[in-house]
C-alpha cells in the first residue's frame, strides 16, 4: 500500500480535474489522486478508491455539490474541501456545505485558466492536507434539526424566520468576542443561536474566511438567531443584541466609543481578519468588560489577543478538543494558561451568558 494521502477530485471541468490532480500529486504527502466528473460518478468511486479527502465542486450538472456532500456524509463520511466560485449563489451554497459537514473550501477562480494562480493551488493543497487530519465526527454529526433548518433556508431563502428580538437600549455593559477558523461556520451555526439578545452586551465574530463569504455566513446566522447578525462596515457602532462579523479580507478594530474600523493591513498569523488584531483593540477600549471564546481552528490566532484581554481583567473560554474539528487555536490558548474554562461547544453559550449576566442589566423592552 502506497504511503501518503489519497484524494478524489470531483469537478465537471476536465481541465480543472487534470490541473488539480497534477498539482496535488506534486506534493510529497499526496500519493494518489483519482477524479470524477460529477457527484454520481464520485459516489461510485468512493467505495473502491476509499479516498482520505475529497475535493468537491459546488456547481455541477447531474448531481450538484450539496447533494453529493449529503450523500457522502450519509453513506461514506469523508473529509471534503469544497471548490467555490465568487458569485452570491456560490458563496451561500458554500456556507451551507460547511454547515452540513464540509471541512473547508477554496476559491475556484483561476483553476480553469492555463496559467492559473499558483497561490490558489497552494491553498488547496494545504487545506487538503489539513482536512485529512480533522476530527470528522465533529463536523459530520450535526443534529438533524439543524440540517433541516439549513436545507430549508437554502430552498426558501426569502422566507424570514418568525421570531421576536428582545432588545435593550443604553450603555453596553460587556462585549463578547468569538474567534474561529477551520470548522468554525458549523460551530457558529450551533453557538450563535443560543446567545441572548436581551442583555446589555454586544458581540464581535471573527471567522477566517476570504472576502465574499463572510456576508453569506452572517446572513445565515442572522436567520437562525435572536441576535441581529451582519457583516461589519466601517463606522458601525457596537450595540446591544447586535453581532458584527469581521469582513473577509479586513482586520476589524474598535475605536473609543465602540466604533468599528476596518483595514486591509498585512495579514497577522497568516490571516486577515485576525482575531489577535480585534482582541487587542477590544482590550484597550473595553478592558475587563470583555468575554472571549476561541473555537475550532488551525494555528494560534487568538492566543495573543486573549493574553491582552486577560491582562486587563477579561474572561476567556475555549472549546474542548472533544468537539473541535481542529484543536489548534483553542489548544494554543489552553497551553499558554490563558483559558478560564475549557468546555465542549454545547456548554460555551451558558458560560458566556453567565459572564454577561453578571455585567448586564436585563430589559423588558422589545426591539422596533
In the structure grid, which three cell numbers stand for residue 134, read together? 480533522
Report the chain's mean pLDDT, rounded to a whole number: 88
Active site residues: 181, 208, 301
Tell me: pLDDT of 152 over 70: no
For β-strands 174-180 and 201-207, DSSP reports them as parallel
CA 224 – CA 160 distance, rounded (Å): 9
The answer to whether residues 38 and 60 touch, using CB atoms and an 8 Å cutoff, is: yes
CB-CB contact of 172 with 239 (8 Å): yes
Region of 171 (left: φ > 0; alpha: ψ -120 to 50; beta: rest) is: beta
pLDDT score of 293 more than 50: yes
Residue 45: how many CA atoms within 13 Å on its side-chain side? 20
Dump pLDDT digits (tens) for 356-365: 988 765 433 3
213-248 per-residue burial string, b: 16 or more CB within 10 A, e: under 16: bbbbbbbbbbbbbbbbbbbbeeebebbbbbbbbbbb
Is a pLDDT exceeding 90 seen at residue 291?
yes
Q: Which three cell numbers stand for residue 206?
A: 471573527
Cα 38 to the chain's mean position, in Å?
26
Asked if residue 315 lies in contact with residue 348, where contact means CB atoms within 8 angstroms, the answer is no
Q: 89 pLDDT band (50/70/90 cuts)?
A: confident
Instruction: State yes or no: pLDDT of 368 exceeds 60.
Output: no
Contacts of 339 (CB under 8 A, 6+ apart): 294, 306, 316, 317, 318, 330, 333
Q: Is the pTM of this model over 0.85?
A: yes
* Ordered domains of the chain (ranges, CATH): 5-144 (3.40.50.2300), 174-359 (3.40.50.180)
Residue 129 C-alpha cell reads as: 492536507
The b-or-e profile of 97-124 (16+ CB within 10 A means b, else e) is bbbbbbbbbbbbeebeeeebeeebbebb
pLDDT in tens, 197-222: 999 999 999 999 988 899 999 999 99
Amino acid at each position: 500500500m502506497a504511503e501518503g494521502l489519497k484524494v478524489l477530485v470531483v469537478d465537471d471541468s476536465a481541465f480543472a480535474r487534470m490541473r488539480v490532480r497534477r498539482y496535488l500529486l506534486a506534493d510529497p504527502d499526496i500519493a494518489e489522486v483519482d477524479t470524477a466528473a460529477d457527484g454520481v460518478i464520485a459516489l461510485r468511486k468512493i467505495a473502491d478508491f476509499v479516498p482520505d479527502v475529497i475535493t468537491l465542486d459546488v456547481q455541477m450538472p447531474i448531481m450538484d455539490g450539496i447533494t453529493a456532500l449529503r450523500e457522502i456524509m450519509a453513506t461514506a463520511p469523508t473529509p471534503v474541501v469544497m471548490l467555490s466560485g465568487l458569485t452570491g449563489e456560490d458563496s451561500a451554497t458554500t456556507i451551507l456545505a460547511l454547515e452540513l459537514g464540509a471541512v473547508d473550501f477554496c476559491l475556484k477562480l483561476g483553476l480553469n485558466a492555463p496559467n492559473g494562480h499558483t497561490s490558489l493551488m497552494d491553498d488547496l493543497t494545504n487545506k487538503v492536507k489539513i482536512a485529512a487530519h480533522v476530527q470528522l465526527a465533529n463536523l459530520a454529526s450535526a443534529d438533524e434539526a439543524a440540517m433541516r433548518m439549513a436545507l430549508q433556508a437554502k430552498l426558501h431563502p426569502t422566507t424570514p424566520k418568525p421570531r421576536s428580538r428582545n432588545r435593550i437600549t443604553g450603555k453596553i455593559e460587556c462585549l463578547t468576542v468569538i474567534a474561529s477558523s477551520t470548522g468554525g461556520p458549523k460551530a457558529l451555526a450551533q453557538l450563535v443561536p443560543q446567545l441572548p439578545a436581551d442583555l446589555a452586551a454586544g458581540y464581535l465574530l471573527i471567522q477566517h474566511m476570504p472576502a465574499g463569504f463572510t456576508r453569506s455566513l452572517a446572513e445565515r446566522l442572522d436567520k437562525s438567531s435572536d441576535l441581529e447578525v451582519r457583516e461589519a462596515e466601517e463606522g458601525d457602532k457596537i450595540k446591544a443584541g447586535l453581532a458584527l462579523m469581521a469582513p473577509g479580507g479586513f482586520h476589524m478594530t474598535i475605536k473609543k466609543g465602540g466604533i468599528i474600523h476596518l483595514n486591509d493591513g498585512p495579514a497577522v498569523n497568516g490571516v486577515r481578519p485576525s482575531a489577535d488584531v480585534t482582541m487587542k483593540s477590544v482590550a484597550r477600549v473595553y478592558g475587563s468588560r470583555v468575554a472571549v471564546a476561541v473555537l475550532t481552528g488551525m494555528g494560534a490566532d487568538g492566543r495573543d489577543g486573549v493574553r491582552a484581554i486577560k491582562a486587563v481583567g477579561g474572561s476567556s473560554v475555549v472549546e474542548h478538543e472533544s468537539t473541535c474539528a481542529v484543536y489548534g487555536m483553542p489548544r494554543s490558548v489552553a497551553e499558554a494558561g490563558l483559558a478560564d474554562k475549557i468546555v465542549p461547544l454545547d456548554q460555551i453559550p451558558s458560560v458566556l451568558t453567565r459572564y454577561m449576566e453578571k455585567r448586564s442589566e436585563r430589559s423588558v423592552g422589545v426591539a422596533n
